[in-house]
């Protein structure tokens, strides 16, 4: 099985044909994948209670289905922003995903089981702003992860099963990168095959690497961002990773990005 890991996406209200279909430059690699994982910051809702920056009408996300209508796509959207919105916003997003045949992680500790895949959605405890977040995603203290949590991860290991951990982390904490790497390697030692970390960063991290029988991704960067800050400088590229579960290795592709309509960052071409 080939699992395609995409960079972080913050969708919005698309204004032209290019921003409505941001995945077109990735058609070839998307069609080569058997399963796709996309980490989405923000929600699909029309609720006025949701910040405009985090709000999307869903058209950009839906465009991926026009390229790969039959390939399973997992959308991880339950992260640190979840605690800032009303439950109706989360319900609206889940309803959209379900209606359009996207997969999404269940609440809290339960992983998503899909065929031979077991996928956990976790968050760095340093990103937890209030208790509401813990209704939807499990916070983990990466400096000293709970032995109970580690036992839970280990308990899901079975022959032929592939375990994936999607983890949103904060790079601002003291020794954050060192602690993240130590945490990721510990999970690989317990049987995790892919540790897929992402954060609030527009640039990718060249330190993605293979460790024993797994792969550790620290950050692929933003793939789509509809809410750029005008005073911020954005890197010209990001990455995506295609992981082969048979050879247990990942192949990284660099993606050139461009800014259109002054505040929309989209992929332009694959290197």
- The confidence band for 191, taking pLDDT boundaries of 50, 70 and 90, is very high
Say if residue 201's pLDDT is above 60: no
Where does the pLDDT of residue 108 fall: very low under 50, low under 70, confident under 90, or very high at 90 and above? low
Number of domains in the chain: 1
The pLDDT confidence band at residue 233, using thresholds 50, 70 and 90, is low
The predicted model gives 130-135 an average pLDDT of 79
Q: Name the pLDDT band for 231 (thresholds 50, 70, 90).
A: low
Q: Highest mean pLDDT: which of 11-20, 60-69, 81-90?
A: 60-69
| CATH code for the domain in which residue 22 is found | 3.60.21.10
Annotate the chain with three-state secondary structure.
CEEEECCEEECCCCCCHHHHCCCHHHHHHHHCCCEEEEEECCEECCCCCCCHHHEECCHHHHHHHHHCCCCCEEEECCCHHHHHCCHHHHHHHHHHHHHCCCECCCCCCCCEEECCEEEEEEEEHHHCCCHHHHHCCEEECCCCCCHHHHHHHHHCCCCCCEEEEEEECCCCCCCHHHHHHHHHHHHHHCCCCEEEEECCCCCCCCCCEEECCEEEECCCCEEEECCCCCCCCCCCEEEEEEEECCCCEEEEEEEEEEEECCCEEEEEEEC
Q: What is the pLDDT of residue 190?
A: 95
Q: What is the model's pLDDT at position 24?
A: 95
**In the predicted model, what is the mean pLDDT of the chain?**
89
Q: How confident is the model at residue 153 (pLDDT cuts 50, 70, 90)?
A: very high
The range of the structural domain enclosing residue 93 comes to 2-270
pLDDT > 90: what percent of the chain?
Answer: 59
Residue 227 has pLDDT above 70, yes or no: yes
Q: Is the predicted pLDDT of residue 95 greater than 80, yes or no?
A: yes
pLDDT on residue 92: 95
Say if pTM beats, i.e. exceeds, 0.85. Answer: yes
């Amino acid at each position: 099985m080939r699992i395609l890991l995409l960079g972080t996406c913050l969708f919005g209200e698309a204004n032209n044909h290019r921003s409505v279909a941001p995945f077109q430059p990735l058609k070839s690699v998307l069609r080569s994948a058997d399963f796709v994982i996309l980490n989405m910051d923000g929600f699909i809702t029309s609720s006025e209670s949701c910040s405009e920056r985090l709000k999307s009408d869903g058209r950009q996300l839906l465009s991926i289905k026009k390229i790969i209508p039959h390939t399973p796509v997992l959308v991880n959207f339950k992260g640190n922003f979840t605690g800032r919105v009303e439950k109706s916003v989360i319900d609206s997003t889940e309803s959209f995903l379900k209606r359009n045949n996207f997969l999404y992680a269940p609440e809290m500790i339960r992983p998503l089981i899909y065929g031979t895949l077991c996928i956990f959605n976790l968050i760095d405890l340093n990103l937890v702003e209030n208790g509401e977040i813990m209704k939807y995603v499990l916070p983990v203290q990466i400096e000293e992860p709970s032995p109970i949590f580690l036992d839970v991860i280990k308990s899901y290991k079975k022959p032929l099963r592939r375990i994936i951990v999607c983890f949103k982390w904060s790079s601002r904490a003291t020794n954050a990168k060192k602690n993240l790497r130590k945490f990721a390697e510990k999970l690989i030692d317990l049987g995790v095959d892919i540790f897929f970390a992402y954060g609030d960063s527009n640039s990718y991290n060249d330190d993605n690497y293979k460790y024993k029988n797994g792969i550790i991704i620290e950050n692929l960067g933003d793939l789509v961002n509809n809410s750029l800050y005008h005073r911020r400088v954005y890197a010209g590229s990001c990455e995506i990773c295609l992981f082969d579960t048979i050879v247990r290795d990942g192949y990284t592709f660099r993606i050139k990005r461009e800014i259109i309509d002054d505040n929309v960052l989209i992929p332009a071409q694959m290197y």
